[in-house]
């Protein structure tokens, strides 16, 4: 099958200079020596480390808060080839506080192309290939195969399993990082026979409703910067084969930005029965090719989430234009207080969904026959809130399809984006 990357030129490594007529001998060209001299001065790195680095290829999956600093340091260090893979998202102004490879001028642009342009400004000699497509089980092996080292800089559970399973199948070292809120974590998988894969450590995924994201929970900008930078360090240790360096394998670094504490916990070795990198008793359970595994069903297994409501009986955002209806109803915004404080629709009071169950009796006594209108950011939490109320016997509750995002699109384009 043809590679999704097309034809990639063979890695040539850093160009070495020949002995000059004046008798001067040097390991690399003047440009290479000037650009990378500070890392070649390191006793455990040296000229040989730079040569090895220039002959290696690294794939960064995700061009966001983790991928930006990781890719910037890898390109600056002189990696032979750098691949950038992102799901086709465009640069969003609300992400600029942490996605430092993009600028305000690139808002709306493709993230892969925007990051590539930033890297080329840092190091014009970089060899960079990009694909604006997400990592999928169908093409995971083909996307990862051309690279020596992989960095998982994504933000969702399904991608983590796909990337890890593919790296396990191809025996590719995987540098995995994540960050949310004030915290981050880092580990290296699949770098040796004893090294576990992600599935060894997490054989079962967490319930979907228990997984947060920067989009909903928020993140302090430098936190993914710290983790992404650490991912670059691990990748450089692997690529340059730095003498005496110990990669973060069979260990996990836990970083707490609030307390400025870093803990390192020991991880188990590779599981002999792991479905991805081991030999399960039932050989049919072995994941040889991610394309043959149903990741959607796997990551949804064990969900304790409330089933989403159908649109029947729910309100379109335009219904909120009826001021008389809002005046006569009990209007509740179930977003977290931090989001409500940033912006809200007049007439709505804030009862976060995390506190709603404790307020149900008060609401029931207070509302009588009044209509209850609930809203959230995108219409998911409000649907859950309606279900909670109906289970408590409150039948006159409804919510807004699409939440505040729909209100912005259909009724008030000036409503803030966040």
Residues in the annotated binding site: 65, 86, 94-98, 111, 155-156, 197, 200, 274, 277
Give the annotated binding-site residues for ATP.
65, 86, 94-98, 111, 155-156
**Number of Cβ atoms within 10 Å of the Cβ of 274:** 21
Question: Is 304 annotated as catalytic?
Answer: no
Contact 62, 83 (CB under 8 A): no
- Give residues with Cβ within 8 angstroms of 193, minimum separation 6: 270
Question: Is 331 annotated as catalytic?
Answer: no
Give the annotated binding-site residues for Zn(2+).
197, 200, 274, 277
Residue 98's closest CA among 214, 213, 259?
214
- Give residues with Cβ within 8 angstroms of 289, minimum separation 6: 141, 169
Q: Rounded to a whole number, what is the largest CA-CA distance in the chain?
A: 96
Whole-number Å distance between alpha carbons of 368 and 18 = 89
Element (H, E) at 240: helix 222-240
Residue 62's closest CA among 136, 158, 134, 166?
134
Catalytic: which of 112, 214, 248, 331? Answer: 214
Strand (E) positions, 48-96?
57-61, 81-86
Catalytic residues: 214, 376
């Amino acid at each position: 099958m043809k590679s999704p990357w097309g034809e990639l030129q063979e890695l040539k490594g850093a160009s070495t200079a020949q002995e000059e007529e004046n008798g001067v001998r040097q390991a690399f060209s003047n440009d290479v020596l000037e650009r990378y001299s500070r890392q070649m001065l390191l006793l455990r790195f040296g000229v040989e480390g730079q040569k090895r680095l220039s002959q290696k290829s690294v794939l960064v999956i995700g061009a966001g808060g983790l991928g930006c600093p990781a890719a910037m340091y890898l390109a600056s260090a002189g990696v032979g080839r750098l691949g950038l893979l992102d799901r086709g998202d465009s640069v969003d102004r609300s992400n600029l506080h942490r996605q430092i490879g993009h600028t305000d001028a690139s808002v709306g642009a493709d993230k892969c192309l925007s990051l590539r342009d930033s890297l080329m400004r840092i190091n014009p000699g970089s060899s960079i290939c990009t694909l604006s497509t997400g990592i999928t089980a169908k093409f995971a092996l083909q996307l990862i195969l051309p690279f020596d080292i992989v960095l998982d800089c994504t933000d969702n559970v399904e991608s983590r399993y796909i990337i890890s399973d593919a790296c396990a199948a191809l025996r590719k070292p995987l540098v995995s990082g994540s960050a949310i809120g004030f915290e981050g974590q880092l580990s290296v998988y699949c770098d040796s026979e004893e090294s576990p894969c992600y599935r060894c450590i997490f054989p079962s995924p967490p319930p979907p409703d228990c997984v947060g994201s920067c989009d909903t929970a928020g993140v302090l900008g430098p936190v993914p910067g710290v983790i992404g930078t650490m991912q670059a360090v691990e990748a450089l240790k692997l690529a340059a084969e730095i003498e005496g360096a110990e990669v973060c394998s069979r260990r996990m670094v836990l970083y707490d930005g609030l307390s400025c504490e870093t803990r390192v916990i020991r991880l188990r070795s590779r599981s002999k029965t792991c479905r991805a990198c081991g030999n399960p008793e039932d050989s049919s359970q072995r994941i040889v090719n991610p394309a043959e595994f149903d990741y959607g069903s796997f990551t949804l297994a064990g969900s304790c989430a409330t089933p989403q409501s159908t649109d029947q009986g729910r309100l379109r955002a335009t219904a909120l234009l009826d001021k008389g209806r809002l005046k006569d109803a009990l209007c509740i915004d179930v977003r977290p207080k931090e989001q409500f404080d940033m912006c809200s629709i007049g007439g709505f009071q804030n009862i976060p969904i995390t506190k709603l169950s404790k307020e149900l009796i008060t609401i029931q006594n207070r509302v009588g026959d009044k209509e209850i209108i609930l809203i959230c950011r995108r219409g998911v939490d409000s649907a859950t809130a309606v279900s909670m109320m109906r289970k408590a016997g409150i039948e006159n509750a409804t919510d807004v399809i699409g939440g505040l995002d729909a209100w912005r699109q259909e009724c008030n384009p000036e409503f803030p984006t966040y």
